[in-house]
Amino acid sequence: MSTSEAALDPSRVRAITLDLDDTLWPIWPTIERAETVLLAWLREHAPAAAALSGDRQALREVRNALQAERPDLHHDLSALRRESIRRVLQRAGEDPALAEPAFEVFFAERQRVTLFDDALPALQWLAARYPVVAVSNGNADLQRVGLQAHFRGALSAREFGVGKPDVRIFHAAAQAAGVAPEAVLHIGDDAHLDAVGALNAGMQVAWVNREGHPWEHHPLQPHTTVPDLLALCRLLG
């Protein structure tokens, strides 16, 4: 485990595992836009469901309620979103089969991310030097996002069956990269899911702290905290 004395050792790094949402792009503007597109689709194809939903917040409340009821869906955000749409349709007396095309409209828009300015140049720099494996609890599709060429592999909680901070998904990512966990540097924005999870998995950790949040998981510490990905590249270079 990492302690307050731990420091990044670039000489040990043989591979990178990398979070996606809020590390390479801000996720909530993307989700809000996708929910707006979904509501527009519902207004055209299922107006009663659109009227019942009212606005994005109502859709989100249904999703959050379903998440509390269905812990089996916690690792599968696509299924959670699809089932929450189905619930809205059923409550409104609309055809629940419309949940499938409605979800596809949402999902397509969810892949239209806007990268942080530092993300693409940093990803290109990292991918030129290390095998890079994505590790995400979200449902971004790297091919549809347009970044697949920079990754050796990708693990999602939905496909793997468990998500971060479970050490098993980190160990599987190290295996996908072809190295032992102690030779991996995990990079992510979430102090608990990314940093604590990867520390417990025996990895080095770079916490991407764009907003200057305090670290609240003592005595564990990330090996380095950076304001953006280019700052990390400078440390590794």
User: What pLDDT is stored for residue 2 in this prediction?
Assistant: 39
- Which of 212, 218, 229, 174 shows the shortest CA–CA distance to 196? 218
pLDDT digits (tens, 9 = 90+) for 1-41: 333 447 999 999 999 999 999 999 999 999 999 999 999 99
Q: How far apart are the first and last CA of the chain?
A: 25
User: What pLDDT is stored for residue 75 in this prediction?
Assistant: 86
- Same domain as 21, residue 124: yes
- Same domain as 222, residue 120: yes
Where among 93, 110, 127 does a domain terminate? 110
- CATH at residue 218: 3.40.50.1000
- Same domain as 194, residue 91: no
- Same domain as 131, residue 14: yes
How far is the C-alpha of 79 from the C-alpha of 85, rounded, in Å? 10
User: What pLDDT is stored for residue 52 in this prediction?
Assistant: 83
Q: Kindly indicate the confidence band of residue 131, based on its pLDDT and cuts at 50, 70 and 90.
A: very high
Q: How many domains does the chain have?
A: 2
In a domain, 150, yes or no: yes
- Same domain as 221, residue 124: yes
Pairing of strands 15-18, 132-136: parallel
Number of alpha carbons in the 13 Å side-chain half-sphere of residue 136: 23
- CATH at residue 97: 1.20.120.1600
In a domain, 4, yes or no: no
In a domain, 189, yes or no: yes
- Same domain as 216, residue 154: yes
* Dihedral (CA of 83, 44, 146, 122) sign: negative
Whether residue 87 contacts residue 99, with contact meaning beta carbons closer than 8 Å, is answered with no
pLDDT digits (tens, 9 = 90+) for 161-191: 999 999 999 999 999 999 999 999 999 999 9
Whether residue 110 contacts residue 31, with contact meaning beta carbons closer than 8 Å, is answered with yes
Where among 65, 90, 110 does a domain terminate? 110
Whether residue 109 contacts residue 34, with contact meaning beta carbons closer than 8 Å, is answered with yes
How far is the C-alpha of 25 from the C-alpha of 116, rounded, in Å? 5
Q: Kindly indicate the confidence band of residue 58, based on its pLDDT and cuts at 50, 70 and 90.
A: confident
Where among 110, 133, 157 does a domain terminate? 110
Is it the case that residue 130 has pLDDT exceeding 60? yes
Is it the case that residue 198 has pLDDT exceeding 60? yes
**Residue 83 has which token pair?**
């089932």
- Same domain as 99, residue 15: no
Q: Kindly indicate the confidence band of residue 224, based on its pLDDT and cuts at 50, 70 and 90.
A: very high
In a domain, 146, yes or no: yes
- Same domain as 205, residue 193: yes
**φ, ψ at 21 (rounded to 5°):** -60, 130
In a domain, 3, yes or no: no
- Give the structural domain span for 210: 10-25+115-236
- Same domain as 231, residue 141: yes
In a domain, 38, yes or no: yes
